[in-house]
A and B are shown apart, each in its own frame.
Chain A
Amino acid sequence: MRIGIDVGGTHTDAVLMDGMDIVSSHKALTSSDVRQGIMEALDAVMLDAHVTATAIDAVMIGTTHFTNAVIERKELCPTAIIRACLPTGSGLPPKCDWPEDIAAALGDHRHMIGGGHLFNGKEIAPLDERALDLAIDDIVQKGIKSIAVAAAFSPANADHELAIAKYLSQRIPDANITVSHEIGRLGILERENAALLNAALGKLAHRVVSNMQAALGERKIHCSFYVSQNDGTLMSADYIARYPALTFSSGPTNSLRGAAILSGIADAIVVDIGGTTVDVGVLAKGFPRESNSHIDVGGVRTNFRMPDILPIGLGGGSLVTENGNRLGPQSVGHRLVKEGLVFGGSTLTATDIAVANGSADVGDVSRVADLDPALIERATVTMHQMIDDAVDKMRPSEEPVPVILVGGGAILVSRELSTASEVIHPEHAGVANAIGAAIAQVGGEVEHIVSYAKINRDDALAAATEEARHKAMAAGADPDTLRVLDMEETTMSYMDDDAARIRIKVVGDLKQTP
């Protein structure tokens, strides 16, 4: 059996699964103490099902800790960046397009030095060791331990990034270094942004992971422990401590994957209603449709591949204003259980409307008995209209689509949606994220630079796919379930060398322990 836990900003969901069957599930408010929260989740699902620690084969955890830290600009370490690019790139220095508050949270510790490569793998300039020394002097003097390293065209030639990292770790042995080519793709601005955020999260990542491990240890669970990443695949705990940024979008991904499993529908729109926001995503063949464009994380542009999510400011805790013509974006969030009318508070929220119109049965219904029926009706129409509009923006065509409702706020929707061919309220919808984490798969990824002048495209793709399969199997995938999740081919126009960068990702189910 396996346990999936999703630690969200407001709620922590947990589910115990035996194969594809849900044995028990639990939902609680997220504890500010990571260790305590995980232990409570484990206890709840295991006690409920009378299961002991030895019966657990794997634990999968999804977390929004790192996304929230970036969005809230909290717990980010002062972080330096060394970019090897000069004499190019001086017009657009690192962080030049960052919002001021997050730029300030990391501090102004930017260094550009001579180095980096050209498109053809030749050096822009030799790595400027003297400038590197001066940059490191400054970093040492400021006492900064988190450092991001970027170099022009490092996805094609990582020598300069690796040389800088090596030298850095000699001079600052306890440095937490992120080299950009390990975390991002072509596009130095976006890649170094990703590296900066990853490095800035280093301390938090170590603390969160060790707390998770401590929680499992205290409950005598000694099986494999995974954390889910952006693309819906799993990574091991020590990996996540080094690459926390790869979890940025795991919440929506898990919710989409969970919705597919719960409903048995592979092509649909998933509406995940939380306390403050509704996330609308698209399921295509059981997997999230990925965004085509660059993704802002807390206002910082990155080029991670993430699911295409449309967030709107509506949730169970949304304030109802303007006589019911407006809901959100302000929300009481997790204080709903204290401040909402039905919970004895004095704030009119979306949840109160759902109780008043009879679609939800939570709290004390008598506390909304005196609400103006016209207000209830207007607010009900407004929130359905908001969701309808969002679905309309995301659906693949004008054709009505199945809409799957998940998340704690799914009770808000009680009527038909004009965009939907059917509205599905699956059982266990409140813990879809945890289910998505529990059923997450293992992946293997390979990147090759090939010349189609020397090898034909089919052979090149086949070789890369084979290597990715081996990586996935080494990570614990069942070879019979492996499939290609993503294939990316980047060619460079106006360059007559017929070169292409191919990146292949395969995924498969975790091999069941015999």
Chain B
Amino acid sequence: MKIIGAGHIKDLCAGAAFLATGGGGDPYVSQLLAEQLLEKYGAATLISPEDLADDAFVVSIGMVGAPTVTLEQLPTEEEAIGALNKYEEITGKKIDAVIPFEVGGGNSTIPLFVAAIKGIPCVDGDGMGRALPEAQMMTFPIYGAKPTPAVIMDAFGNSELLECEDALTFEKEIRAKAVAMGGMISSAEHGMSGELVKRSAIPHTISFAVELGRLLRGHGGVIDAIQDDLFKLFAESDYGVIKHLFTGKVVDSERKIIGGYDVGTATLQGFGSTGSGGSNGARDNAETKMELLIKNEYLVAKIGDRVVASVPDLICVVEQETSRSLNAERMRYGQRVAVYGIGCTHHYRTPEALAVTEPRAFGFDLDYVPLEKISID
């Protein structure tokens, strides 16, 4: 078992911001809240999925809504704790551990302070290994967990019990509730046995994010200087594959809200330099442009007409000069960025997982080709 204390939170959030693939909002508010609460209640205990008893009862907890809302409507611990307590009250089941929806973004910290306050462990793993916009894209329902019963609670302490037939219906329901209840709610959902967690959760992502964040934050300079360490870290993890896709400047970023999603395209232009040494070919030629197609997250990366990475593989963008991860909402003209493609774990490579997370699931008319099968140069 590992311990996550207030002192680990900045690293966790830096790693989570990288794995958020452009989504997840500004992690500062959730970082600050987690630091304050872990300081007050003590460190949280992390338990690896393989160490869970098969009959343990695990519930996923996190926030649902518009991340921008939390910049103004600051969250407290009360919504998440309230939702979890209500969940136990309604189902009559004692919760043995909590697990994050997604490691990417602010939702990685909520189960940690909930675990610390409740005195139960938090599972070292999550249901996405990244950030994705919708509930049916989580590995929990893909591999058999039922999203409901779910208990949601808003900032005013109002709670509701949701009962839905399937994950897609649940997603529509909870999204509408989030908008109606002020833009941001906490949700306790996807009650699972320890055995199901072992089958469905992407393991060790929380401790991985801490390590990743330590590398990125500890450096803080030009990303090229730590690229070898970054590659080694991912190569030795469950993700396995990592590629440098492009380095360049943002020359356009147009966004629009469609159906509640932040949809748009960002265009990057190469500097025409050699970057980290060696031949980078199309990756930073001044003549080439990269297009990032965005729907909350970076979902498709193209060089010219060629797709070089697509969801569910991860497309991660950092500011080249500082190694800080760049949220899609903050992308703007003139920023110098480096783009990395990271292979999703095997959980997303099955037909049932791809059915809900491949590019077509987001309305892009193209087939998913695994990152490692695409040649860039």
Contacts and interface: CB of A to CB of B under 8 A. Distances in A.
A119 B29 contact: no
Tell which of B156, B224, B258, B260 has the most Cβ of chain A within 10 Å. B260
B259 A152 contact: no
A398 B271 CA distance: 9
Contact of B72 (A152, A292, A494, A498): A152
A496 B73 contact: no
Tell which of B65, B73, B224 has the most Cβ of chain A within 10 Å. B73
B77 interface: yes
Given A188-B71, A292-B319, A397-B273, A494 B256 contact: no
Given A489-B255, A492-B257, A186 B36 contact: no
A499 interface: yes
A188 B257 contact: no
Contacts of A88: 73-76, 155
Given A494-B66, A495-B260, A496-B260, A91 B74 contact: yes
B69 A492 contact: yes
A187 B271 CA distance: 33
A494 B76 contact: no
A362 B71 CA distance: 53
A96 B36 contact: yes
Contacts of A399: 271-273
Given A398-B273, A491-B256, A494-B65, A188 B74 contact: yes
Interface string B50-91: 000000000000000111110111111110000000000000
A94 to B, nearest CB: 10
Interface stretch (B135-143, B176-184, B199-207, B342-350): B176-184
Contacts of B156: 87
A374 to B, nearest CB: 30
B73 A153 contact: yes
Tell which of A188, A491, A493, A496 has the most Cβ of chain B within 10 Å. A493
B66 A396 contact: no
A92 interface: yes
B260 A493 contact: yes
Tell which of A120, A153, A397 has the most Cβ of chain B within 10 Å. A397
Contact of B76 (A90, A118, A489): A90
Interface string A81-94: 00001011111100
B33 A495 contact: no
B261 A118 contact: no
A496 B261 CA distance: 8
B71 A491 contact: no
Contacts of A488: 332
A329 B182 CA distance: 49
Interface string A226-249: 000000000000000000000000
Interface in B321-363: 321-322, 324, 326, 329-330, 332, 334-336
Contacts of A445: none
Contacts of B67: 493-494
Contact of A493 (B33, B68, B324, B335): B68
A394 B321 contact: yes
Contact of B336 (A97, A397, A452, A489): A397
A321 B38 CA distance: 41
Interface residues of B, number: 57
A493 B73 contact: no
Contacts of A471: none
B328 to A, nearest CB: 9
Nearest to B178: A494
Given A293-B324, A397-B273, A493 B257 contact: yes
Contacts of A289: 334
A188 B72 CA distance: 5
Nearest to A396: B336
Contact of A91 (B65, B75, B260): B75
A118 B179 contact: no
B52 to A, nearest CB: 30
B32 A97 contact: yes
A392 interface: yes
Interface in A478-504: 488-500
Contacts of B258: 498
Contact of A92 (B32, B157, B322, B332): B32
B286 to A, nearest CB: 10
Contacts of B76: 88-92
Nearest to A153: B72
A187 B72 contact: yes
A189 interface: yes
A186 B71 contact: yes
A289 B257 CA distance: 28
Interface in B220-250: 221-222, 224, 249
B75 A495 contact: no
Contacts of B179: 494-496
A491 B74 CA distance: 18
A284 interface: yes
Contacts of A496: 179, 257, 259-260
A294 interface: yes
Interface in B172-211: 175, 178-179, 182-183
B262 interface: yes
A393 interface: yes
Contacts of A397: 271-273, 275, 336
A46 to B, nearest CB: 40
Interface string B287-321: 00000000010000000000000000000000101
A500 B28 CA distance: 22
B279 interface: no
B186 to A, nearest CB: 12
Given A186-B71, A498-B257, 10 more contacts: A91-B74, A118-B69, A118-B183, A152-B74, A292-B326, A396-B271, A397-B336, A452-B257, A457-B256, A494-B175
Interface of A: 85, 87-92, 96-97, 116, 118-120, 124, 152-153, 186-189, 284, 289, 292-294, 301, 392-394, 396-399, 452, 457, 488-500
13 contacts: A87-B157, A91-B36, A96-B32, A152-B74, A188-B72, A292-B326, A301-B28, A397-B275, A399-B271, A491-B255, A491-B256, A491-B257, A498-B258
What 5 pairs between A and B have smallest CB-CB spacing?
Answer: A91-B76, A493-B262, A397-B271, A89-B74, A494-B66
